[in-house]
Amino acid sequence: MNLQRWIGRREASWKTLDSLLQQAEKRGLRSMTPAQIHQLASLYRSVAADLARARTQQAGQVLVQDLQRLTSRGYAQIYQGLRRQEWHALWAFYRWGLPAVVQQCAGYVALATGLFAAAGLIAWWFAWRDPSFLALLVPTELISQVRDRQELWMGSIVGVEPFASSSIMINNLKVSFAAVAGGMTAGIGTIYIILLNGLMIGSIGALVGQNNLAYPFWAFVFPHGALELPAIFLAGAAGFLLGRAILFPGRFRRADALKYYGAQAAQLMFGVIPLLVIAGLIEGFFSPNPAVPDAVKYGTGILLLTGLLVYLSQRSPPNQQT
């Protein structure tokens, strides 16, 4: 290989890469056009190959060091810069994107919430008046514990908080993903899961109310329920989006409708997962803690629910809207 001819042929590429790297280092990758980023990546790969050739051909220590510095700078900008962009995109999604998609899907969220509330009220009404109805939904041991021993069951969590918290998270995630998957049955599975959970909470609400344990029971439920129940409603909305794609694809072909509404459903689930993780931690470590007064638990639930509603109702700035 004629070393001087090779250097003369490749030197322009090295200078171009150096110029692009200076721009990226001073103003960031976001200041560059897509064409410049593509050129930067292409030149980085070619210069990395040049470095390997220079070492093989013993082109001289100075040239090898110069190419080594150039490739190191290129690696830092391309790969570390892309990671920074990914973190920025993740932050932007949770800061603005999730509230935006929840607002776009508000009708589906309202449907899931309404079905749950209706099922809960109906179950409470019948369970309050008919003990046999209560027995259809609530385990006999639980009914006996509340009625006969006048005690709630949350004490079993105390002492095994890490295990209980992780089990609660896993169970809630299973329910949420089942609600989403239920959308593929044209929404029937989603409706079933939402109604079943509403019936359960309504029946248990009647049971504790009949036995004068409503205040401590709802004090237990409220802190984590302020996040857990909205997460279930969002999962239900995701399932209804898939159900709509199957039943009412509109102007789309059914496969295209599934892609379009499936993308919205996936975005909702990106919000569901952290909510359920936080709710599981609260339910495992805070809600059953006997050292925390019930009034504090109610106050915590109010603050969490208010904060969540304020967060989800915020409007994106114009440059963040999609």
% of the chain residues with pLDDT over 90: 49
pLDDT over 70 (residue 36): yes
pLDDT grade, residue 86 (50/70/90)? Answer: low
pLDDT (tens digit per residue) in 208-222? 999 999 999 999 999
Question: 11 or 205: whose pLDDT is higher?
Answer: 205
Q: How many whole angstroms separate alpha carbon 110 and alpha carbon 311?
A: 17
126 Cβ contact partners less than 8 Å away, ≥ 6 residues apart: 133
pLDDT grade, residue 161 (50/70/90)? Answer: low
Contact 61, 80 (CB under 8 A): no
In the predicted model, what is the mean pLDDT of residues 274-289?
Answer: 91
Contact 137, 207 (CB under 8 A): no
In the predicted model, what is the mean pLDDT of residues 234-239?
Answer: 96
Q: How many CA atoms lie within 13 A of 228 on its CB side?
A: 26
In terms of residues, how long is the chain? 322
pLDDT over 80 (residue 90): no
Our measurement of the distance from residue 225's CA atom to the centroid of its chain's CA atoms, rounded to an integer in Å, reads 17
Give the sign of the dihedral formed by CA 27, CA 33, CA 37, CA 39.
negative
% of the chain residues with pLDDT over 70: 92
pLDDT grade, residue 294 (50/70/90)? Answer: very high
Query: What secondary structure does DSSP assign to 152-194, as a single string?
Result: -SGGGGTT-HHHHHHHHHHHHHHHHHHHHHGGGGTTHHHHHHH
Angle between helices 254-285 and 214-247 (to 10 degrees): 170
Question: 46 or 76: whose pLDDT is higher?
Answer: 46
In the predicted model, what is the mean pLDDT of residues 5-19?
Answer: 86
Phi-psi sector, 164: left (phi>0), alpha (psi -120 to 50), beta: alpha
Q: How many whole angstroms separate alpha carbon 17 and alpha carbon 6?
A: 17
Residue 66, pLDDT score: 85
Q: How many whole angstroms separate alpha carbon 138 and alpha carbon 273?
A: 27
Query: What secondary structure does DSSP assign to 14-67, as a single string?
Result: HHHHHHHHHHHHHH-GGGS-HHHHHHHHHHHHHHHHHHHHHHHTT--HHHHHHH
Residue 322, pLDDT score: 45
CA angle, residues 46, 47, 52, in degrees to nearest 5: 100
Q: How many whole angstroms separate alpha carbon 24 and alpha carbon 40?
A: 10
